[in-house]
Structure 1
Amino acid sequence: MRRQIFQLKVSLADVTPPVWRRVQVPGGYTLDRVHRVFQSVLGWQNCHLHSFDIDGMQYGVPDPEGELTLRDELDTRLDAVATKGGRFLYTYDFGDWWEHDVTVEDVFGADPDERYPVCSAGDGACPPEDVGGPYGYRQFLAAMADPAHPEHETLRSWLGRSFDPSTFDPGRASTLARWLS
């Protein structure tokens, strides 16, 4: 029997222009590996806590302080909690609160000639880390687009590079996903 591949569409909620990725991952991946795939294909840097909300259950890295009640993502395989047509939430950075809607678009047998995970499509650049969530990202985009904006130079200096919100390269995302997962 061929291993099962889950095609997931991951969409960052409440941002314009839209940011989304279509990824194909083995169903045998534990949720911690799915998290690493999401980090790499979206462009996050894995600097913050995260969680999955699947059918009312929370999964993530267990909290040693006991303040967050999370099931251990290391013990949970994707194929045990997700089904074709299903949906779940992935939240990254509990301060900025980046919510991602995840749809299981398809489940199919692995192509023996393909290396997984694969990022087959997507749109939009991931917002920079620590920009302040969707509201802060809107302010960031406005300031970066207007050289006369009072925060333009400060934000360019803070980011340390140019930023084009429409840039996305699925080939580079696939390479990173394979390397980091």
Structure 2
Amino acid sequence: MPTYIFKIQIVGVDPPVNRVVKVSSESSFYLFHHIIQIVFGWKNYHLYQFIFNNYRIADSRLVDENVGKYNDCKATMLEDLFTKIGDKAIYEYDFGDRWIHLIELVDIESSPVCELLPIIISGSNSCPPEDCGGISGYKELKMILTNPKHEEFESYWEWVGINFNPTKFSLQTTESEIRKLNKIINGYEKGFE
């Protein structure tokens, strides 16, 4: 089983927010969605889709029949579409805020290695808070958080929490969260029972 190393970056965010992850090539796009949610610190509150060229992948339980042709994320494996280094796709999360993530396959390891996947390799900067209004809203949020004279300064700090820092990324915390992957997915699935 080959392993894939992906670099994933949120498009248009400054400072750049990215993660590098190692996953099994046999992972479904459904599993990959949950991995992306965890490594970026998203809360999985919103709809999502992957776009690979003109190929759309989404969770069939969440897609409105009027959206057009798509493929189910549980039935589509990473190895079905990512076949060579340099292959790219888009992961769109939250169709309101429209967080676009560029996914690039940066390495393929063919030699079997005894390691527990997925693995977070590296990352930079904090993910924007959920529901902050997309790129422009995030830019405004950061401006308000640095201006104690702004009328919404205190309420914004209350909303994001005192520990919020747009330039912070903790590899150790993310490694700990990725180990909860199965528990997180099981909790998510209970919402469909």
Query: Where on the TM-score scale, by shorter chain, does this alignment land: which range?
Result: over 0.9
Question: In structure 2, what is the Cα distance between the partners aligned to 1:159 and 1:110?
Answer: 43
Residue identity in the other structure for 1:155: Y
C-alpha displacement of 1:169: 1.2
Point out where structure 1 has 5 or more consecutive residues left out of the alignment. none
What SS is found at the alignment partner of 1:67? helix
Aligned residues: 179
Instruction: Tell me if structure 1 keeps the 8 A contact 2:6–2:103.
Output: yes
1:106 correspondence with 2:104: no
What SS is found at the alignment partner of 2:64? coil
Quick one: structure 1 residues 102 and 124, their matched pair in 2 at CA, closer, same or farther if it must change by over 3 Å?
A: same
Q: Tell me which moved more, 87-96 or 152-161.
A: 152-161
C-alpha displacement of 1:82: 0.8
Alignment correspondent of 1:81: 81
Point out where structure 2 has 5 or more consecutive residues left out of the alignment. 183-193
Alignment correspondent of 2:175: 174
Residue identity in the other structure for 1:35: H
Question: In structure 2, what is the Cα distance between the partners aligned to 1:145 and 1:113?
Answer: 46
Instruction: Tell me if structure 1 keeps the 8 A contact 2:2–2:112.
Output: no
Question: In structure 2, what is the Cα distance between the partners aligned to 1:118 and 1:95?
Answer: 30
Quick one: structure 1 residues 110 and 164, their matched pair in 2 at CA, closer, same or farther if it must change by over 3 Å?
A: farther
1:159 correspondence with 2:157: no
What SS is found at the alignment partner of 2:168? coil
Q: Deviations over 1:147-169 (max 9, x none)?
A: 11222112112224331111101
Alignment correspondent of 2:32: 34
Q: Deviations over 1:87-119 (max 9, x none)?
A: 110000000000001110011136533211111
2:54 to 53, 56, 60: 56
Alignment correspondent of 1:18: 16
C-alpha displacement of 1:65: 3.4
Question: In structure 2, what is the Cα distance between the partners aligned to 1:67 and 1:6?
Answer: 33
Alignment correspondent of 1:72: 72
TM-score between both structures, scaled by the size of structure 2:
0.88
Q: Tell me which moved more, 141-150 or 4-13.
A: 141-150
Question: In structure 1, what is the Cα distance between the partners aligned to 2:47 and 2:111?
Answer: 31
TM-score between both structures, scaled by the size of structure 1:
0.93
Question: In structure 2, what is the Cα distance between the partners aligned to 1:25 and 1:175?
Answer: 16
Question: In structure 1, what is the Cα distance between the partners aligned to 2:38 and 2:111?
Answer: 21
C-alpha displacement of 1:173: 1.5
Q: Tell me which moved more, 157-166 or 86-95.
A: 157-166
Alignment correspondent of 2:130: 129
Instruction: Tell me if structure 2 keeps the 8 A contact 1:36–1:177.
Output: no
